[in-house]
Amino acid sequence: MDAPHAAVDETFRAEIRAWLARGLTGEFAPLIGAGGPGREHELIDLRAAWERTLGAAGWIGIGWPVAAGGRGASLAQQVIFHEEYARAGAPGRLGHMGEQLLGPTLLAFGTAEQQKRFLPGILSGTELWCQGYSEPGAGSDLAGVRTRAERSGDGYVLNGQKVWTSLAHVADWCFVLARTDPGAERHHGLSYLLVPMRQTGVQVRPIVQITGTSEFNEVFFDDARTGSENLVGGEGAGWRVAMGTLGFERGVSTLGQQIGFERELNTVIDTARANGSLQDPDIHSRIVQAWIGLKVMRYTAVRTLASSADGVPGLEASISKLQWANWHRDLGELAIDVAGPEGLVAVGGAYELSDAQTLFLFSRSDTIYGGSNEVQRNIIAERLLGLPR
C-alpha cells in the first residue's frame, strides 16, 4: 500500500540510505535538521560543501537522462531519494533551484551550448541558482513583471527589482523573467534570461521576515549585464519557458516533504502529551484532524504519482499546494496552541524562537509564496473547472 516500489527500488533505497547515514557524520553532522523553509539562514557554508559532496557522489539530478549527466532514475526512485533524504534529516538543499527548476528548463528549452555550460555546475553542486520571478507591485501576478532587459551590444542590460528571492545571497546565477519588449503587455514580450549574480549591477538585500530571521531577499538590477548566449527559448518566449517549468516537478519531492511534516506533527503530539493539553478535547480533535489531513495528502501524492502519465501536472501542483499550505498553516497554529502560555515567551533573549513558534510564524508564508492561495484558486477554477474569467 506504499508508493509502488519494485525490488530494484529497494536496493536503490538501501544505497541512498547507507550513503546518507555515512555522509551525515563528522564535519557534516551539524547539518541534520538544518536549512529548509524557515531555516534557510542556517549553516550556509557547510551546506554549500554538502552540495558539492552530494554532487560528487552523483546524487544531484538523478532523474535527469543519463546523456545529460543524470542517472535516469525512475519516478519511484526519485520519490525514494526524497523520502530517504527527509527521513535522514539531511539539510535543506541550497541547490534545489538549479536541480528542480533551471536544469529541467534547460533540458526542455535550452540550446546544446547552454546545457553544456550550465548543467555540469548544477550536477556537481558547484554553481548555485536563485529564481528571479516575483516583483514588488506584482506579487503573485507574474505577467505584471516590470524588470526591463535591453539589448546592448552582444548582450542585455537589466534594470528592475525582484523580491522573495530565496538564497539570492548565496547564488552564483539567477534565472530572471524580464521584459524585453517594453511595448508589449502582460505575458507578451517577456524573456527568460540567465544572469550572473556576482557583478556590481546586482545588489541583494535580505528581507527581515515575521520570524526576525531572513530567508528571502530583494534583488536589485541596476545596469546588470548578461550575454545574449544566456537567453533561453528566444526573445519574447519567457512566459512559455517560465510556465513550462511549473509542471516539471511532478510531485516527486512531495512524499519527502510529508516526512518532514510528519516529524513536525509528531513533535506537536509529544508536546501535547507532555504538557497535558492532549487531554483537552479541542486539542485532541485538532491533532487527530491534522493526522488525518497528513494521510489525505499522502494518498493524494501517491495517486498523483501513479497517474502522472495522464494527469495535468500544473493543476495537480495547484491542488497539492493549497492542500499542504493550508495544512501546514493549521499545524503551525496547532503547535502554538499546544504550547499554551509557555509558547508566548521567546526561548532566548533576542527573539530566539522555539520550534513551535517558528512553525506558527513561518507557516504563514506557505499560503503566500510560490503562488498564493488566491492565485492557486484562480488556476483551479479557470483551468481545471473551466469557469469563465
Interface with other proteins includes 372 (CB under 8 A)? Answer: yes
Which CB sits closer to a copy of itself, 26 or 281?
A: 281
Q: How far is the CB of 56 from other proteins (least distance, A)?
A: 36
**Residue 345's Cα: distance from chain center in Å?**
30
Interface with a copy of itself includes 282 (CB under 8 A)? Answer: yes
Q: How far is the CB of 11 from other proteins (least distance, A)?
A: 23
| The only residue of 210, 243, 274, 312 in contact with other proteins, by rule CB under 8 A | 210
Q: How far is the CB of 278 from a copy of itself (least distance, A)?
A: 13
Stretch touching other proteins by CB under 8 A, among 98-106, 173-181, 231-239, 290-298: 290-298
Q: How far is the CB of 4 from a copy of itself (least distance, A)?
A: 36
Grid cell 546586482 is found at 202
| Contact criterion met (CB below 8 Å) for 192 and 177 | yes
Residue 355: which of 27, 34, 31 has the closest Cα?
34
Q: Which of 84, 99, 249, 264 is catalytic?
A: 249
Which CB sits closer to other proteins, 198 or 389?
A: 389
**CA distance linking residue 152 with residue 25, whole number of Å:** 50
Stretch touching a copy of itself by CB under 8 A, among 110-118, 120-128, 265-273, 278-286: 278-286
| The only residue of 26, 153, 183, 281 in contact with a copy of itself, by rule CB under 8 A | 281
Which CB sits closer to a copy of itself, 22 or 284?
A: 284
Q: Assess whether 249 carries a catalytic annotation.
A: yes
Kindly report each contact of residues 324-329 with a partner whose C-beta sits within 8 Å and lies 24 or more positions away, as own/partner: 324/254, 324/257, 324/258, 324/261, 324/297, 324/366, 325/366, 325/367, 325/373, 326/367, 326/373, 327/261, 327/290, 327/293, 327/294, 327/297, 328/261, 328/363, 328/366, 329/363, 329/364, 329/366, 329/367
- Greatest alpha-carbon pair distance for the chain in Å reads 70
Interface with a copy of itself includes 285 (CB under 8 A)? Answer: yes
Q: How far is the CB of 139 from other proteins (least distance, A)?
A: 5
Q: How many CB atoms lie within 10 A of CB 18?
A: 11
**Which x/- pattern over 29-68 shows residues binding other proteins (rule: CB under 8 A)?**
----------------------------------------
Stretch touching other proteins by CB under 8 A, among 13-21, 52-60, 118-126, 141-149: 141-149
Q: How far is the CB of 384 from other proteins (least distance, A)?
A: 6
Interface with other proteins includes 243 (CB under 8 A)? Answer: no
**CA distance linking residue 191 with residue 194, whole number of Å:** 10
Strand 214-227 and strand 231-232: pairing? Answer: unpaired
Q: Write phi, then psi, for 178 (nearest 5 degrees).
A: -135, 160
Q: Which residues of 261-289 are buried (b: 16+ CB within 10 A; e: fewer)?
A: bbebbeebbebbeeeebbeeeebeebbee
| The only residue of 138, 157, 246, 259 in contact with other proteins, by rule CB under 8 A | 138
Stretch touching other proteins by CB under 8 A, among 86-94, 101-109, 132-140, 147-155: 132-140
Residue 104: which of 143, 60, 144 has the closest Cα?
60
Interface with a copy of itself includes 310 (CB under 8 A)? Answer: no
> What is the Cα Rg of the chain in Å?
21
> Which residues of this chain interact with a copy of itself, rule CB under 8 A?
281-282, 284-285
Indicate which residues carry an active-site annotation.
249
